[in-house]
Structure 1
C-alpha cells in the first residue's frame, strides 16, 4: 500500500471519529453475534430444520415412553409400544385399559406427536425430493470457502454495475465476494460458482459473513445513495484500513460518501456523459479508451499500476533504466508521487523513488504479470 494512501486512510478514520460518524473498533477485532442470532441463522438451513425436527420427534418419543412408564406403571417395552402407536395414529389397541390420567396424557401426546411427526415428514420430503438438499450442500460449501478468503474484494450489489465489476475482477483473476439481498438470484450464483452472501449489505453481520474484516477492498454499488452511505459506514467501522470505493447516483452525494469513509467515489452518470461527449468530439480517443476499459472475453490492452517498495528492483532506477518497454512491451504513462501529484510522460532520466507508483500501459497479460510480481500490498 502506498504511503500516501495509508496517511489518507488514517486521516479519514481520525476525521470520522472526531465528527462522531464512526466509532472505530480495533482493526482486526471480531465480534461474535449473539447466540440467538446464530441459532436463528442456523435454522434457516432446511437440512438443519430436518435435523431439528428429528431431534424434537425423538424427544417426544422419549417423553411418551417415560410418561406411560410413570403414569400407567407399564414396562419399558410396553411404554415404548404405546408411544409409537399413539404418535403414528395407526389405531392399534392399548396394551391394557388406561386410567383417566393416562387418557389425558395420551390426548396431549397425540396433539404434540402428530404435529412433530408431520413436520419431520415434510422436511424429509423437501430435503430428499426437491432442490433443498443440493442448495443446502452448496450453501455449506460456500460458507466454508468464504471463511478461508483473505485479501479479497467485496462487491455490494449485483445490479448492472456489480455484474460488470465481477466480470472485470474475474478477468484479472482477483478473488471477490458478492453481497445481494435478492434470494431468487442465489441459484444463479451457485450454478456459476460465484462467491456470495444473500443479505443486506448495510448490516454488520452480513459484511462479517463476506469477510470484510479480512478483505483488501470493497465497492458499494447499491441502487440508492442512502444505502451506499450506510454500507460504507458499516464497512469502515469493521475495517478502518479497508480501501472503499462507492457509487454516487448524484454528484451532491459524493461529499456525504467521503465523510462516511469512502476513499474513492464514482458517479456513473457523470462518467457516461463525459464518454458520450468524448465520442462526439474526439472519436479516436474514445475508441482507444473503449479498447482499454471495455472488458470482453479477450482483453488486449490494459492500464496497470506498480507501487515502488524500497526493495523493488525499480527503486533508484531511471525511467529508461527500468527498461519496461523493451523487456515487457509496456510503457510508463505517468508517475504518481507520494503526495498524490502525477508526472505525465516522465522524462527518461527521471529517477523512480520508493513510495511512487508507476502507471503503465501495454498488453493485458504483461501488465498483470508486472502487477503480480512487483506491486506491494
Structure 2
C-alpha cells in the first residue's frame, strides 16, 4: 500500500513524537532518582532497567517494583510515568481511530485494495459504472455467465451493499465518480483483461 503509508506516517508523526518523548522522560527520570538495594546501599537503575519499568508501567501491566522495592521518590515518579505514558497512548489511539474514520483515507485504502485485486485477475472483466437497480441486474447477469466485474459508484452506500452481499465471486467496488476519466483508469480501464465499460449511472 505505497500511497497509503505516507498518509499514515503524516498523521502519526505527532503521536509518535509524543510517545517517544513521554517514554524518554519517564526512562531518564527513573535513572536519576536513587533507590535502595536489599543491602541498604543506594543504587540507581540502568537505562535498560528504567525502560523495562516504564514499558510495563505504560502498558498498565504492572509487574511490581523490580529489582528492589522502590524508594518514595521512585514511587512518586512511577505515578507521574503512569499518567504521562497512558495519556500519550490514549492520544495516539485517538489519532489512529480518527484516521480510520477519515473519508479520504478510506477512499485511498479502497483504491489500493481494488488495484491489488485487479492485479490478481486472470479472467476478462467489465467495469460497471453505477450500482443501482440496472447495475445490480447487469452484475448478476455477467457473474452468472462466469464474467468478472468491477463496480464503480460514487454512492458509498451502494458500494457498502455490494460488499455485504455474497455474489459467489469477489466483486471489487470503488467509491468514486465515474465521470472523471482518471477514476476509470484506476478501476482497470487500461487493464489488458478489461473487455469494456458499461455506464448505467
TM-score bracket, shorter-length normalisation: 0.5 to 0.7
Among 45, 56, 67, the alignment partner of 1:84 is 56
In structure 2, distance between residues paired with 1:77 and 1:208: 55
* Deviation digits for residues 89-133 of structure 1 (CA, Å, limit 9, x no counterpart): 75956834149988766543231134557999x9xxxxxxxxxxx
Report the secondary structure of 1:212's partner residue: coil
In structure 2, distance between residues paired with 1:117 and 1:167: 41
User: Alignment length, in residue pairs?
Assistant: 157
Match of 2:4 in 1: 38
Q: Runs of 5+ in structure 1 lacking a partner?
A: 1-32, 44-51, 123-138, 223-377
Matches within 5 A, 1:59-70: 60=19, 64=23, 66-70=24-28
* Deviation digits for residues 283-328 of structure 1 (CA, Å, limit 9, x no counterpart): xxxxxxxxxxxxxxxxxxxxxxxxxxxxxxxxxxxxxxxxxxxxxx
Larger Rg: 1
Counterpart contact for 1:82–1:95, Cα < 8 Å: no
Match of 1:329 in 2: none
* Deviation digits for residues 304-358 of structure 1 (CA, Å, limit 9, x no counterpart): xxxxxxxxxxxxxxxxxxxxxxxxxxxxxxxxxxxxxxxxxxxxxxxxxxxxxxx
Q: TM-score, normalised by structure 1?
A: 0.32
Match of 2:150 in 1: 177
Matches within 5 A, 1:138-157: 144-149=116-121, 151-157=124-130
In structure 2, distance between residues paired with 1:41 and 1:190: 32
Q: Does 1:95 align with 2:53?
A: no
In structure 2, distance between residues paired with 1:192 and 1:177: 14
Q: Runs of 5+ in structure 2 lacking a partner?
A: 32-44, 98-111
Report the secondary structure of 2:190's partner residue: helix
In structure 2, distance between residues paired with 1:83 and 1:39: 27
Counterpart contact for 1:78–1:95, Cα < 8 Å: no
In structure 2, distance between residues paired with 1:83 and 1:91: 10
CA spacing shift, 1:81–1:62, aligned 2, 3 Å: farther
CA spacing shift, 1:189–1:179, aligned 2, 3 Å: farther
In structure 2, distance between residues paired with 1:113 and 1:119: 10
In structure 2, distance between residues paired with 1:205 and 1:39: 21
Counterpart contact for 1:177–1:196, Cα < 8 Å: yes
Q: CA deviation at 1:155?
A: 0.2
Q: CA deviation at 1:172?
A: 4.1
CA spacing shift, 1:71–1:177, aligned 2, 3 Å: same
Counterpart contact for 2:60–2:82, Cα < 8 Å: no
Report the secondary structure of 1:72's partner residue: helix
* Deviation digits for residues 22-54 of structure 1 (CA, Å, limit 9, x no counterpart): xxxxxxxxxxx9x7x5348889xxxxxxxx9xx
CA RMSD between the two structures: 4.6
Q: Does 1:186 align with 2:159?
A: no
Q: CA deviation at 1:160?
A: 1.7
